[in-house]
Amino acid sequence: MAAMKWWGWGPEGLEFTHEDKPALRPFIQWALGVDVASASVSPIPFKDLRVPESRLTDDLRSALEAAVEGGFVSTDRLDRVVHARGKSLHDLVRQRRGELNRVPDVVVRPGSEDEVEAVMRSGIDADAVVIPFGGGSSISGSLEAPAGEQRPVISVDLGRLNRVLGIDATSRLARVQAGVFGPHLEEQLSAQGYTFGHFPDSFTHSTLGGWIATRSSGMQSDRYGDIADLTKGLRVVTPSGMLVVRPVPATSNGPSIRQIVLGSEGRLGIITEAIVEVRRIPERRTILGYLFPTFADGLAAMRDIAAGEFSASVTRLSDAPETQFSFATRRLPSLVDKLESAALRTYVGRRLGYDTGQMCLSFIGYEGSERHVARERKAVGKLVKRHGGLCIGSGPGTLYDQKKFDIPYIRDFLLDRGVPGDVSETAAPWSRLAPVYDAVRSAASDAFGRLGVQGYLMCHLSHSYHAGACLYFTFAFRPTPDGDILEEYDVVKVAIQQAFVDNGATLSHHHAVGTEHAQWLEEDISQPGVVMLEALFEGADPGRHLNPGKIV
């Protein structure tokens, strides 16, 4: 898998465009007061970057070259810059400006677990910092070395550990190397009739090990579970040796070591393998689109689906602002599309009494046998109807399925036009979802007002559980002419995150802590919780060699 561009999302040459979406340019003009017809800001050319000299010593280089055979020890300038950060908005803006900060001194690509162990030993013996690297898709500041770090920094790229090593068909468990990217994992599993079913937004450019290290959730987690549910066994290279978590279905042997590794962001060791649940590829997979009169009606429907005897694979609900944005991103419609769209708006407005400015778009997915899918669709359809909803067929669902991994590219598109756009997501009990939603909208509006900027906030419910759900907010604003884009971004981001914890929600549902969210950790898990984590990290890594400064 080719590395992502050093200044943005995805590989070089692949970009988001508005030209095949005729409604998008006028929509952004209305929402943000920005004409996106052409780019106005460009990243600094790579040749002009001032990349700090590598601090790799001759002794450490020799040790790493002995540890990893085949010339997979790199001090190339581009390689080091690519591995210096993830893809948070802070990361992207600073990269584009040429503000590189603490770049890794060397990128090492081990090809086996033994080589990972040898790299770990070499790094610790040299009092170096060791940072695991999967796809580099983190948006929480989980990859950058501390600014003042004086020790050598080693980025350990797991990309060569990319194979499915075996499948236990009886137990439906697969043994998989941690560096495999999402598409390659599914490709290997599907060749044997299986699927992992884990599809985060970052799927194309993220790895199994990265998902585990950040407690990822996927678009079909309603059915398959998130990465914490799917991961049953682990092998982790740690400073004190190889940590092995066996794939038993349940155990009562003290605090769960498996759960401790999940979400540890490289602070406890380097994940080399996982044993994960897999399922047979379903006979039928369908995603249908639905409309609801209001967001409150849609939330009530999602809550009842989660509480009922359903097994939907996707339950996604956009609020009215996101629904309007979704309609604006439609590609060039055919005459039939235009006629159907006009007829639908007339029907829901005049016949059903919807306020089309408040209606909300939803996607619900079904998987299984033909009979199971038909039964689920019928039962969910009745429930949706009780909440005033309307099924609008498979067309919108197919479109959602096709463009579901495109969203991260929009940030680059906006930054090219001088506009910051980002996301914040959380989870809360069903009884708190509406208050959290209202509080975040109010907090963002206040932040836009304090800055004196035109901004836009939208939201969707993306994962449902028996007791609650995830709310995923996206925001963008037109910065002031003379202000610093990151300082103004922080005003909005902080307001949203603070509204989460002030209203009983978590600091992040699936984007991890890193450095971006660390300031809210104590409010989320309490001061004794932070003390426990500090003691855990100190006990496992007393030399602070493993990705220091993350989480706490």
Domains along the chain?
Answer: 43-158 (3.30.43.10), 164-280 (3.30.465.10), 284-403 (3.30.70.3450)
φ and ψ at 431, to 5 degrees? -70, -20
Q: What is the pLDDT of residue 394?
A: 84
Is residue 53 within 8 Å of residue 105, measured between CB atoms? Answer: no
Q: What is the DSSP letter of 195?
A: E
Within its chain, how far is the Cα of 144 from the centroid? 17
- Please give the pLDDT value at position 141: 97
Q: Please give the structure tokens belonging to residue 254.
A: 């003290």
504: exposed, middle or buried (Cβ count in 10 Å: 0-12, 13-18, 19+): middle
* pLDDT attached to residue 336: 46
> Mind telling me the catalytic residues?
472
Closest CA to 408 of 160, 86, 125: 86
Q: Which residues, other chains included, contact 199 with Cβ-Cβ below 8 Å and sequence gap of 6+?
A: 182, 218, 219, 220, 404
- C-alpha 244: how far from its chain's center? 27
Q: Classify 140 as helix, strand or coil.
A: coil
Query: What's CA 408's distance to the chain center, in Å?
Result: 9
φ, ψ for residue 387, nearest 5 deg: -100, 20
For residue 154, how many C-alpha atoms fall within 13 Å in the half-sphere facing its CB? 32
Q: Which of 178, 174, 208, 206 is nearest to 191 (CA)?
A: 174
CA atoms within 13 A on the CB side of 532: 9
**Per-residue model confidence as pLDDT tens for the chain (552 residues):** 778 999 999 998 888 888 888 999 999 999 999 999 999 999 999 999 999 999 999 999 999 999 999 999 999 999 999 999 999 999 999 999 999 999 999 999 999 999 999 999 999 999 999 999 999 999 999 999 999 999 999 999 999 999 999 999 999 999 999 999 999 999 999 999 999 999 999 999 999 999 999 999 999 999 999 999 999 999 999 999 999 999 999 999 999 999 999 999 999 999 999 999 999 999 999 999 999 999 999 999 999 999 998 899 999 999 999 999 998 888 766 544 554 566 677 777 766 778 888 999 999 999 999 999 999 999 999 999 999 999 998 877 777 766 777 788 999 999 999 999 999 999 999 999 999 999 999 999 999 999 999 999 999 999 999 999 999 999 999 999 999 999 999 999 999 999 999 999 999 999 999 999 999 999 999 999 999 999 999 999 999 999 999 999
Tokens 């898709």 found at: 137
